[in-house]
Amino acid sequence: MVSPAIALAFLPLLLTLLIRYRHYLRLLYRAVLAAWLRDRLTGVPREHRAFQYLLAHAVPGDPRHVLSTLDRWSYGCEHLPSVGPVKGRIVSRLLAERAPRRVLELGTHCGYGAVLLAAGLPPGARLCTVEGNPQLASVAQKVIRLAGFDERTVEVIVGPSEEVIPRLRERHGLAATDFVFMDHGKRCYLRDLRLLESHRLLAPGATVVADNVLFPGAPRFLQYAKSCGRYRCRVHRASLEYFPAIPDGLAELRYTGDG
């Protein structure tokens, strides 16, 4: 049994750790524990609760208002792992600079990123967004349609990214993409980037943007992008969505061809 003297000796260290990592503890509570508890108590998944909030507060057909409403939900109600407004402005700026015609999103979740991307597309452009979870894809479809985008502009593809990517050309008519936004499992980033390469789905000069490369992080993806000779790589430092005290960043890759 630990004596009171030893316990008191460790108290300053414990307090220091709690203060230093308080923002991460808050993230753990809001993003994991509180969401899990509300799911069990209500019997309604968090993303469905967010959509009900959208229906009550968002202006249909106005993508910017849909996004700001989701931001209000995530700041004031429950955390959603979306790209968020801070990093979202970086994505919107890159879209405006590139004006891509063919856009691919990996990781739709509840549709936040898809609405953000679709709102920045030039006329006649097309977005294919991939989600492996059918329940999340169903919510995303409703959010995207609520924002005013039909299937001609945004196609939601349900299935694991490693299975969808090889059939994008044949089944979905995506011969090559000008802009890719990755916001799915961070361990999948490198695998899926190499799949895009091997199936020649990256157009010359294509831009690949990957979220959360600093937190929770995608070190192998970054190492490959910087060393393989196929990309010019830049990391845009920002903060984690809805947690300004937690550092994060977006990776911007410009495809230059085979190294």
Q: Is 186 a catalytic residue?
A: yes
Q: Which of 183, 192, 248, 252 is catalytic?
A: 183
For residue 248, indicate whether it is catalytic.
no
- Got the DSSP string for 199-247? TT-EEEEEEEEES-IIIII-HHHHHHHHHSSSEEEEEEEEEETTEEEEE
Q: Examine the residue annotation and report whether 142 is marked as an active-site residue of this protein.
A: no
Q: What angle do CA 28, 29, 33 make, to 5 degrees?
A: 100
| CA dihedral sign of residues 121, 123, 125, 130 | positive
Which residue out of 47, 178, 186, 252 is catalytically annotated? Answer: 186
Q: In the numeric block, which tokens belong to residue 201?
A: 């789905």
Amino acid at 99: A
What DSSP character marks residue 124? T
183 catalytic? Reply is: yes
**H/E element, 104:** strand 102-106
131-143 CB burial, b ≥16 within 10 A, e <16: bbbeebbbbbbbb
Catalytic residue among 71, 131, 192, 211: 211
Would you tell me how many other CB atoms lie within 10 Å of the CB of residue 210? 26
Provide the CA 24 distance to its chain's centre, in angstroms.
Answer: 19
Catalytic one of 178, 241, 248, 252: 241
- Active-site residues, by number, are 183, 186, 211-212, 241
